[in-house]
Amino acid sequence: MESLNLVLFVVEAVAYFVLMVTLLHFRHRLGLGVFLTALGVMHFMETYLAAVFYVSLPFGDVSPGSSVFFSGKLMMILMLYLWEDAATVRQPIYGLFLGNLLTVGIAWVLQLHQPLQLSSNHTPDIDFLKEMGWLMVWGTALLYVDSLGIILLYEKLGDFFRRRVVLRFMISGFVLLTFDQVGFFAALHFFLDVPIAVFWGGWKAKMLSVCLYGAMFAIYEYRIRRLGADAAARSISDVFGDLTFRERYNDLLERTGRDMLTGVYDRTRMELEAPLMLREALRQGLFATVLIIDADHFKDVNDGYGHLQGDAVLKSIAARLGTTLRSSDRIFRFGGEEFVAVCPGTSHEEGLLLSERLRWTIETSVKTPDEKPVTVSIGVATADEDGASFTTVLAAADGRLYEAKKSGRNRVVGRSSSWNPVSPPVRSGGAEDLGA
């Protein structure tokens, strides 16, 4: 029987993770509210199971409500923080806490009624409702502290294991679920006189849950999410979207912050989005590379052929950037003939290869009216090697762009390196690795 219970324990953890991560993964299609609602509606069941429902496992007596579902909820909150932000995480925590306070308040008011007993087998148990209400309030208060703690600990561990996202995920879970086990068991022992032996069985079960969730998080993070991020981000249209002009709103939002000439994002959009892109990449333990691309001798193009021809050259450069960079990258017009590309998940070496490909593509495909090649100089810098903020990394890239122009133009300069204009780079794995 213990072996069967252990198998069911694992199945429950896998089923919970798969369902909740599916809702989280498709939050841009379904709406974040679907995930948050699913996260919240199980709170009463989790608390009820933790109070009265226990099974025997090889390492002790365990409640699935606490060890599987509550542990999963805390890990889901950490995942929500990783992919959204702290402001979003506050919403389910505050909602759960206030909802449970309301439950306790209603239980007290219900005592003033004189309920009818319609069946001898179904008698209202107000005491049980109050008892569960206080357990839920205590559990939600702990969840609030747990959520803050697991986020802060995850961030602090980044000082030591910045790129070990799964390790940080699991260590944070081990520590905070140990804290939670101590706090919630104290309430169970006080309200329900639960024996001390349950504490150790529950703690071991929570540690096993963290291992299971950590393994599934690693599989999802490295095998599913990064390959399917673009598909998950695309919006979905339905009758409600049509009725509320959602498509028109999305189209207007997409065109806001666009450079009117080239169609890429403008500098204002860069100042809003680029810092967030770098911060998100670093939070996930990834590199983020910034490129500054400057058209060489562009004044000569304007002076020799007119501003309309100069505008055509800029449009052609922007078009080549758009077709060469990946869909996850962002291109901004920095000003005049300068563009900035932000490439999350790209190391400095990959950024140099990508920049050389951009340089070569523009040189061989963009021409002036008399068929002379247009060339560009590119400065490359990477977070967090060149700094942790977008402003710092951009300044480093700008300094390297100046070096590229000073040393003859038509070249790429990164940290302690320079790519001379020769031929397209040869990379192992093919050009697709760094292409669109």
pLDDT per residue over 92-113, tens digit each? 878 877 877 787 788 778 778 8
Instruction: Work out the average pLDDT over 281-310.
Output: 93
Instruction: Work out the average pLDDT over 154-182.
Output: 90
Asked whether residue 236 carries a pLDDT value surpassing 50, the answer given is no
pLDDT per residue over 26-67, tens digit each? 887 888 889 888 888 887 788 778 777 889 999 888 888 888
Instruction: Work out the average pLDDT over 205-217.
Output: 94
Q: Contact at 8 Å (CB) between 333 and 295?
A: no
Span(s) in the chain for CATH 3.30.70.270: 258-434
What are the φ/ψ torsions at residue 328 (nearest 5 degrees)? -80, -15
Instruction: Specify the CATH number for 258-434; select among 1.10.3720.10, 3.40.50.1820, 3.40.50.300, 3.30.70.270.
Output: 3.30.70.270
Give percent of the chain above pLDDT 70: 86
Query: Which residues, in sequence order, are CB contacts of 287 under 8 Å at separation 6+?
Result: 281, 345, 346, 347, 348, 382, 383, 384, 385
CA distance 232 to 327: 13
Per-residue pLDDT band at 315 (split at 50, 70, 90): very high
Query: How confident is the model at residue 427, as a pLDDT?
Result: 35
Burial class from Cβ neighbours inside 10 Å (0-12, 13-18, 19+) for residue 88 reads middle
* Angle, helix 390-406 to helix 267-283, in steps of 10 degrees: 110
CA distance 81 to 91: 11
Query: How confident is the model at residue 48, as a pLDDT?
Result: 79
Query: How confident is the model at residue 226, as a pLDDT?
Result: 58
Question: What does the chain come to in residues?
Answer: 436
Instruction: Work out the average pLDDT over 285-304.
Output: 94
Hey, is 404 helix, strand or coil? helix
User: Could you tell me which residues are beta bridge partners of residue 417?
Assistant: 414
